[in-house]
Amino acid sequence: MSEEKLSKVEIIKKNSRFLRGPLQEELQNDASHFTEEAVQVLKFHGTYQQDDRDLRRELVKQGKERHYIMMIRARIPGGVLSADQYLVFDRLADEYGNGTMRITTRQTFQLHGVLKRDLKSTIRRINEALITTLGGCGDQVRNTVGCAHPHQGPFEEAVRRDLLRLVDETSAKTNAYHEIWLDGERVDPELDRERETLYGETYLPRKFKIGFAYEGDNCSDVYSNDIGIVAHRDGDAVAGYTLVIGGGMGRTASDKETHPALAKPFAFVAPGDLVDVVKAIITIQRDHGNRENRKFARMKYLVESRGVDWFREEAERRLGRKLAPPRELVWRSSDDHLGRIEDGDKVHLGLYIENGRIADRPGFPLKSALRDVIAKYRPTVRLTTQQNLILADLAPQDADALEAELAARGIRLPDAYSPVKLRSMACPAMPTCGLAIAESERVFPKVVERLEALLAELGLADEPITVRMTGCANGCARPYIAEIGFVGRVIGKYDIFLGANVEGTRLNVRFREMVPLDDLVPTLRPVLELYRDERLPGERFGDFCHRVGIKRLNQAVPVSS
């Protein structure tokens, strides 16, 4: 492809010398921020350059530059950390960040508010804890996720081994990361050319997400990934994996051709063939994905334009063998694994973390309470794709004591929260995300509170409805597979989406556009009243909305609402 047709980011990647770019030089200058070229390369190293948007207007009035800050995202395969690793993030959040830790929807931590001058020290400290940020962001395979259920028998351990093997095989091989952040030995980029056989010098056209699930348990929203990998059990062994391909939540509000998509059934593979098949799929996206227009560069658009059959034939050509058809999948639950989980001689405590934000607030010292009990009782820490946290592998007496210590500090177990709150998620949005066009995390708790009150008034307080909010159309909190999705359109206004199913296998559809924040819950009142009055026995809210259809729901809601 001629360079004239390539997007600007593609040219930057091509000229980056395998992700080196100008990072080494710019880290050594006194500027408060990086240049645009460096910003694009930084993403591959797990860092986004942001600025505090709460301060923008006042700084402009004063003729000052923006208050630039860095967001650092780690790569934590499957979301599993040791107690010591968790405590490193806790310390770094206070020493270099804004005092908070953010659990992402991809089972990892983000640190916000790090200054450019502290970036190298922060990344170095993360690496000293045997965790990397390479692959946290950028046009490569991002953090690979999986079911967070803490039970670990032979089957689960085998899936975990396959996940880690796949992570190793699909990680970038460039030496740039060690050179820049860890003062490693400098390597000629031509040597990286020989090693970076999966990605090549321009890596992938866009980000690439892989998720694992156990058949029957879709807590990881496996269909939202570019590749979803579903493990089938054969006693204590892994019978194989069904692969689904072409999922992705992102869309651009101003471009109707962009849209979210759920992954489609692709093939069944034996455990020993998993890595080769996944790498073949990645190379197809590498070679055929759109590198001219980043809006259409995710693999979902390639799958849709060429078709699953073409994709399978191309994968078979590259592999030199036929692929078995996918197995039919049956799902029993998509709920997160929260509460007290008794597991033989171990106990696990799944804690609800509102919107994934671990912070100390007046009357609610969550961050310091977690730090103290993790330091004392040394649990394995498991992050979930629904932004929650599990303290795993505790002796029963330690679990009792830990739970009591949390309760004494006002940290409650999930059974103290409403079903709708436990199934709610929001993206960070303002003031750190540069893409946000509306609030999300900061306003969502009040929206959920109002929704809880309405559900209680209607006699629906026990209904486990999933509700999610994002500050833009990119869909980082996966609003398009929520029974109720709020998606920011402009400051203070949101589109409402309804009708996804709880199994995560059906997208919702837009119900209302440009609804003011304070009108979100009142707009849903007639719909919830209709659900209360006309639902079938045991029918979930999303299934009801899908069954009766948007036209019927619109008839129930006055246009002026």
Catalytic residues: 73, 142, 207, 209, 427, 433, 472, 476
Measure the CA dihedral 425/429/432/437, to 10°.
Answer: 180
Using an 8 Å Cβ cutoff, are 104 and 110 in contact? yes
Q: Which residues fall within 8 angstroms of residue 101, CB to CB, at 6 or more apart?
A: 89, 90, 93, 109, 110, 111, 357, 358, 359, 367
Buried b (16+ CB within 10 A) or exposed e, 128-139: ebebbbbbbbbb
Sign of the C-alpha dihedral computed for residues 194, 314, 137 and 382 taken in this order? negative
User: In the 3-class helix/strand/coil scheme, how is 485-505 assigned residue by residue?
Assistant: EEEEEECCEEEEEECCCCCCC
Closest CA to 541 of 446, 447, 460: 460
Give the integer Cα–Cα distance in Å for 38 and 546: 46
The conformation of residue 294, written as its DSSP 8-state character, comes to: G
Which of 260, 265, 195, 253 has its CA nearest to residue 228?
265
DSSP annotation of 267 reads: E
Nearest to 139 by CA among 38, 207, 45: 207
Measured CA to CA, the distance from residue 331 to residue 214 in angstroms comes to: 9
Beta carbons within 10 angstroms of residue 424's beta carbon = 28
Q: Half-sphere exposure of residue 25, counting CA atoms within 13 Å on the CB side?
A: 6
Burial of 540-550, coded b for 16+ CB within 10 Å and e otherwise, reads bbbbbbbebeb
Locus of tokens 């970076």: 196
**What is the helix (H) or strand (E) element at residue 341, kind and residue range?**
strand 339-343
Residues contacting residue 8 through CB under 8 Å, at least 6 positions apart: none
* Parallel, antiparallel or unpaired: strands 467-470 and 424-426: parallel
The stretches of 342-395 forming alpha helices (DSSP H) are: 366-377
Q: 436's torsion region: left (phi>0), alpha (psi -120 to 50) or beta?
A: beta
